[in-house]
A and B are shown apart, each in its own frame.
Chain A
């Protein structure tokens, strides 16, 4: 318009509606500005507790996601060969009848023949419950691929975890150590928090082989060799112990450091915590007025008393007798012996980590100086779990955050445990200035809910398929100890697989190991591309037929997605989902909470625009399908659908337990109850009136020391977050692991089969340990370089990176390597080279990058696409030049013995990739997809 008439007061749109972003798992509050029925603009909701008005690149690009040409528009039935992408459009009734026919036959025959795996969605409160009602144990989401090591190590150790379930005390910390974090959960809150830290002058240390976004603004970047973080953490622990810079009072108050561990090698209870007849843990303490009658060990008088008794003086080293003259030592002593070993000295670990010993010693000094000499005191009276009143709160202002760089290794569980032990020794768990829990955490370590194992008369499982095993009795194994789940989660192979093993499903189903399944149902899980390791082989398995019958080895594949992702081509039946702006969702405390350390929160999505295609929200489809299958909880007594109005109705009316539903806000008939209360038919109206979120502040006296804070525990119990208002004991020593080790050593009713014994005994160490690689996958000198990915901030998470705007920022990825590494291999900047692993070879373009640890290669993930997917042109750089490292990563260990996964949790070990560089005869010839992956045309 001519600027003489420039109107600077044009309204943004006609209507503004709030909802929740779905461009990543951060789940920020957004305002969608509509004009003439179309989305004009999306911005951050300033009132929303997650993002306080900010919005990331992906969030702003949501408008292009919503109008993407790659959106599916109609149910599809395969007419060609699997993988060819040939479909005919069908009506919803036909699609749902067909699905109901397949699934109905399975449920009548054996519900476990359905494997239901979902992607990085946030609907697990529904999908897990649906799988439970269907009766299959074979359900999981993306977590086994993603970061279960962080969740499991955290929940078994702290009853909480990094991820988006805890956060640094952004307002008070003086020293933040980021371990293996390059854009991750919790994306916008981390960025906002880093901004605050920089403003306050707090020190930020980034431990990462690559200095990407967060590392760039850190005060110090510690380039470390991939997979050695457990050694670095161990050396820091070594230094803190050696210099006696640890918080012993914190340890005996809040952890099990003083718990006596039976020391009777060979006995059935060796390594377990000594307990009284009622099961209470015991400790040795100095005699006092209450416990005068002492025994003597060496020069020390002691009494054995309940470890949770307040106002005792526990002993943390020495050998004591308990019960019937059985020897026991405090857990702390075992830990100190482990880490004072010379094997964890800075000098010993330095060459392997690539971090100089003096740097390690200095980092340990800085941690101790900040925690102890710069401790902070908050003038906040509080009452501890034992009823004692305190006038102030002591803070250890050292915080840590860790994610993929720690988790995606075979040693990730123990490495994450080591980080938590480091935090505990510093007294830096949920104190002012340290790592903080976000409600509903902390929960008991481990949480009480076990995975469902048996089917009730109505065919439903006795509990949700995912949970936490406490003892070998909780495993999903048959009488011979063989896995009961298709992914072998909760078997002796991966006992603590709290998120399942998405990465093992396709191979196991293809191989019939441990058994064949009938139907693979996937929701937004791109398991035919970037949610797979050994991608080429995985795609082949999806298309493979059994020569005996001529049928596909995986007989039926149903896929639900909003977009034409790579996996669509492998489906027999495609159920098109809506975009996130077209449906209801619950961001539930029963699922993945969006709380912050000072408040519990949940949220909803509401449809802000109506679909213009013949698509349905997958949640509605699941409930419809459930009703067609007569699943318990999805039909009423007359056999009629219980939720004919779909997920919106379920969100409000469904009760998981009396008074507990998906949403915690505005419960009770009149909407005045929080946490617990009968369903409120007007609940969603309340949410919408409040910007689609609910936010309940933690009482001021309950904001720190949540694991043993009376005000917090009572508040959390009142809202239904914890079963009892009892303190959570932090597990410096993880007794749960010892129970599995004892079974492997031949004790107890349920023991592993002979093949698994040695492996379980080795890895189920109650103290953190470190190992480089697993047997069957030893470092091969022929593959001397590590190769990893980093997450680009503008395409985090990976889903939806076909976005018209985001692909203008990067439509191709290259391989970055340190100039010294490049020189050593004769690679010039910009050369095309071959990257080879024992699995495959891909052709990639190399770029010199000084901010990379020598010996490590890296690339952005999420960019490479399969040709023909996402409605991108055939010559799109994403498929022509872009690549995934996934093609090089084994889904199994090199000897085929086990999944390429952590032996404790089953976490996919995609950061353990080792490669070599092979020069190309024509390094200036650009790549094409057909050349890229040798021997295939995918």
Chain B
């Protein structure tokens, strides 16, 4: 069993905005690309051009149709039948929990939580591939590489974020830099003044399944209230046009326009 370090002030993590995620998989592939050739790669691909291509991904995007409170629609056909659901795209990766069971169950110390910044990593040299950690993680964040016989997972791009050979602006996780809708944010969630902490406070960011007690660091921002039918302006009272009596065109006859 592996022990956890003393809680640190710094809690690096991601804030993922479910309001703007369009499910494009940019984050997932950018992650795959960076890490495949990086310090924690390769992320093996099994049968890349054959039946059932499978491989290791540190970040995956899932799409759901979820039921929401029905909106009174009063109409017929498509609108009424479809209004009660919403589509959510949900990127999933390691949440870098404060009390990660995946670490505490590890028999060799391969899984560990960094004392300084809270990033959860796997030391492949120590990993025996027992997969206890993937049983322990309720979030499905760990991936087993059958070829290497070891466990792999999101590193929060630890080999980017501290990498002084990169421009400072590039020292962010690959998924964050790639995201076209800017739905992903990286920072110190232990610092209440950080941009990500403020974002979480403003938008009501939440942790996934906090009741399990693993205290995830990553936060998800919920979809903002949708401005659909509720946002409608009051119906104006248009002048009734009795076309039998009066051509509707006549009201424009006296309009003085300026070119």
How big is chain A's contact interface, by range?
35 or more
Q: Indicate if B212 sits at the interface (CB-CB under 8 A).
A: no
Asked whether B249 lies within 8 Å of A337 as measured between CB atoms, the reply is: yes
Q: Indicate if B207 sits at the interface (CB-CB under 8 A).
A: no
Asked whether B89 lies within 8 Å of A213 as measured between CB atoms, the reply is: yes
Q: Which of A10, A35, A191 has the most CB of B within 10 A?
A: A191
- Complex Cα distance, B235 from A362, in Å, reads 8
Asked whether B232 lies within 8 Å of A213 as measured between CB atoms, the reply is: no
Asked whether A365 lies within 8 Å of B233 as measured between CB atoms, the reply is: yes
**In the assembled complex, which residues on chain B have CB atoms less than 8 Å from the CB atom of A804?**
45, 48-49, 53
Asked whether B228 lies within 8 Å of A220 as measured between CB atoms, the reply is: yes
Q: Indicate if B195 sits at the interface (CB-CB under 8 A).
A: no
Asked whether B26 lies within 8 Å of A875 as measured between CB atoms, the reply is: no
- Complex Cα distance, B234 from A362, in Å, reads 9
Give the Cβ gap from A821 to chain B, nearest Cβ, in Å: 9
Residue of A nearest to B122 (CB): A3
Q: Indicate if B129 sits at the interface (CB-CB under 8 A).
A: no
Asked whether A855 lies within 8 Å of B78 as measured between CB atoms, the reply is: yes
User: Chain A, 877-916, contact with B by CB distance < 8 Å: what is the 0/1 string?
Assistant: 1001000000000000000000000000000000000000
Q: Indicate if B22 sits at the interface (CB-CB under 8 A).
A: yes
**In the assembled complex, which residues on chain A have CB atoms less than 8 Å from the CB atom of B178?**
43-44, 54-56, 60
Asked whether A258 lies within 8 Å of B23 as measured between CB atoms, the reply is: no
User: Chain B, 118-149, contact with A by CB distance < 8 Å: what is the 0/1 string?
Assistant: 00010111100000000000000000000000
Residue of A nearest to B235 (CB): A365
Residue of B nearest to A204 (CB): B227
Q: Indicate if A851 sits at the interface (CB-CB under 8 A).
A: yes
Q: Indicate if B242 sits at the interface (CB-CB under 8 A).
A: no
Question: Which of B1-9, B80-88, B100-108, B186-194 participates in binding chain A?
Answer: B80-88
Given A8-B39, A57-B26, A317:B49 Cβ within 8 A? no
Q: Indicate if B151 sits at the interface (CB-CB under 8 A).
A: no
- Complex Cα distance, B103 from A63, in Å, reads 34
Q: Indicate if A110 sits at the interface (CB-CB under 8 A).
A: no
Asked whether B253 lies within 8 Å of A41 as measured between CB atoms, the reply is: no
Q: Indicate if B52 sits at the interface (CB-CB under 8 A).
A: yes
Given A362-B229, A808-B54, A216:B88 Cβ within 8 A? yes
User: Chain B, 170-194, contact with A by CB distance < 8 Å: what is the 0/1 string?
Assistant: 1000100111111100000000000
Instruction: Name the contact of B50 in the complex, choosing from A2, A219, A243, A875 (C-beta under 8 A).
Output: A875
**In the assembled complex, which residues on chain A have CB atoms less than 8 Å from the CB atom of B76?**
351, 356
Which residues A185-205 have CB closer than 8 A to chain B? 187-188, 191-192, 194-195, 198-199, 201, 203
Residue of A nearest to B180 (CB): A191
Q: Indicate if B37 sits at the interface (CB-CB under 8 A).
A: yes
Asked whether A214 lies within 8 Å of B74 as measured between CB atoms, the reply is: no
- Complex Cα distance, B123 from A22, in Å, reads 37
- Complex Cα distance, B251 from A310, in Å, reads 24
Given A219-B227, A317-B250, A793-B22, A60:B50 Cβ within 8 A? no
Asked whether A61 lies within 8 Å of B33 as measured between CB atoms, the reply is: yes
Given A203-B231, A794-B29, A850-B82, A808:B53 Cβ within 8 A? yes
**In the assembled complex, which residues on chain A have CB atoms less than 8 Å from the CB atom of B54?**
808
Asked whether A358 lies within 8 Å of B65 as measured between CB atoms, the reply is: no
Give the Cβ gap from A247 to chain B, nearest Cβ, in Å: 10
**In the assembled complex, which residues on chain B have CB atoms less than 8 Å from the CB atom of A340?**
248-249
Which residues A723-742 have CB closer than 8 A to chain B? none
Give the Cβ gap from A85 to chain B, nearest Cβ, in Å: 17
**In the assembled complex, which residues on chain A have CB atoms less than 8 Å from the CB atom of B112?**
3
Asked whether B32 lies within 8 Å of A44 as measured between CB atoms, the reply is: no
Given A362-B232, A365-B232, A849-B65, A356:B180 Cβ within 8 A? no
Asked whether B255 lies within 8 Å of A805 as measured between CB atoms, the reply is: no
Question: Which of A221-229, A477-485, A686-694, A834-842 participates in binding chain B?
Answer: A221-229
User: Chain B, 148-176, contact with A by CB distance < 8 Å: what is the 0/1 string?
Assistant: 00000000001100111110011000100
Given A3-B121, A41-B34, A217-B19, A10:B49 Cβ within 8 A? no
Q: Indicate if B238 sits at the interface (CB-CB under 8 A).
A: yes
Asked whether B181 lies within 8 Å of A194 as measured between CB atoms, the reply is: yes
- Complex Cα distance, B158 from A201, in Å, reads 34
Asked whether B37 lies within 8 Å of A805 as measured between CB atoms, the reply is: no
Given A216-B87, A365-B236, A804-B45, A57:B257 Cβ within 8 A? no
Asked whether B24 lies within 8 Å of A794 as measured between CB atoms, the reply is: yes
**In the assembled complex, which residues on chain B have CB atoms less than 8 Å from the CB atom of A59?**
26
Give the Cβ gap from B169 to chain A, nearest Cβ, in Å: 6
Instruction: Name the contact of A243 in the complex, choosing from B125, B165, B236 (C-beta under 8 A).
Output: B236
Residue of B nearest to A318 (CB): B253
Asked whether B25 lies within 8 Å of A793 as measured between CB atoms, the reply is: yes
Asked whether A60 lies within 8 Å of B29 as measured between CB atoms, the reply is: yes
Q: Indicate if A286 sits at the interface (CB-CB under 8 A).
A: yes
Which residues B217-253 have CB closer than 8 A to chain A? 223-224, 226-229, 231-233, 235-236, 238-239, 241, 248-253
Chain B contact surface mostly: loop
Give the Cβ gap from B152 to chain A, nearest Cβ, in Å: 13
User: Chain A, 638-682, contact with B by CB distance < 8 Å: what is the 0/1 string?
Assistant: 000000000000000000000000000000000000000000000
Give the Cβ gap from A615 to chain B, nearest Cβ, in Å: 20
Asked whether A220 lies within 8 Å of B259 as measured between CB atoms, the reply is: no
User: Chain A, 100-133, contact with B by CB distance < 8 Å: what is the 0/1 string?
Assistant: 0000000000000000000000000000000000
Asked whether A876 lies within 8 Å of B49 as measured between CB atoms, the reply is: yes
Q: Indicate if B99 sits at the interface (CB-CB under 8 A).
A: no
Given A9-B162, A311-B259, A217:B22 Cβ within 8 A? yes
Q: Indicate if B57 sits at the interface (CB-CB under 8 A).
A: yes
Given A60-B29, A220-B226, A362-B229, A314:B259 Cβ within 8 A? yes
- Complex Cα distance, B180 from A807, in Å, reads 21
Given A43-B174, A853-B82, A57:B24 Cβ within 8 A? yes
- Complex Cα distance, B178 from A85, in Å, reads 39
- Complex Cα distance, B160 from A12, in Å, reads 9
Q: Indicate if B258 sits at the interface (CB-CB under 8 A).
A: yes
**In the assembled complex, which residues on chain A have CB atoms less than 8 Å from the CB atom of B84?**
850
- Complex Cα distance, B115 from A648, in Å, reads 54
Question: Which of A248-256, A468-476, A513-521, A621-629 participates in binding chain B?
Answer: A248-256
- Complex Cα distance, B78 from A852, in Å, reads 8
Q: Indicate if B75 sits at the interface (CB-CB under 8 A).
A: yes
- Complex Cα distance, B174 from A820, in Å, reads 42
- Complex Cα distance, B21 from A156, in Å, reads 36
Q: Indicate if B73 sits at the interface (CB-CB under 8 A).
A: yes
Which residues A230-266 have CB closer than 8 A to chain B? 241-244, 248-249, 252-253, 258
Residue of A nearest to B256 (CB): A313
Q: Indicate if A53 sits at the interface (CB-CB under 8 A).
A: yes
Asked whether A57 lies within 8 Å of B65 as measured between CB atoms, the reply is: no
**In the assembled complex, which residues on chain A have CB atoms less than 8 Å from the CB atom of B30?**
43, 55, 57, 60
Give the Cβ gap from B123 to chain A, nearest Cβ, in Å: 4
Asked whether A242 lies within 8 Å of B159 as measured between CB atoms, the reply is: no
Which residues A59-92 have CB closer than 8 A to chain B? 59-61, 63, 69
**In the assembled complex, which residues on chain A have CB atoms less than 8 Å from the CB atom of B165?**
9-12
A-B contact pairs, 30 of them (CB 8 A): A8-B162, A12-B166, A40-B37, A43-B174, A43-B177, A54-B178, A55-B26, A60-B26, A60-B29, A60-B30, A187-B180, A194-B181, A209-B78, A212-B87, A216-B22, A248-B252, A258-B259, A286-B256, A317-B252, A318-B253, A340-B248, A354-B77, A357-B75, A359-B73, A793-B23, A811-B52, A820-B81, A850-B82, A854-B78, A875-B50
Shortest beta-carbon contacts, A-B, top 9: A356-B75, A191-B180, A195-B181, A216-B87, A793-B24, A804-B48, A873-B50, A223-B78, A213-B22
Chain A residues packing against B (C-beta within 8 Å): 1-3, 6-12, 35, 40-44, 46, 51, 53-61, 63, 69, 183, 187-188, 191-192, 194-195, 198-199, 201, 203, 209, 211-225, 241-244, 248-249, 252-253, 258, 285-286, 298-300, 309-318, 332-333, 336-337, 340, 350-351, 354-359, 361-362, 365-366, 369, 793-794, 802, 804-809, 811, 818, 820, 849-855, 871-873, 875-877, 880
Add 10 more A-B contacts to A2-B125, A46-B169, A219-B228 (CB < 8 A): A1-B124, A9-B163, A44-B177, A203-B231, A223-B78, A244-B252, A311-B258, A350-B75, A362-B229, A877-B51
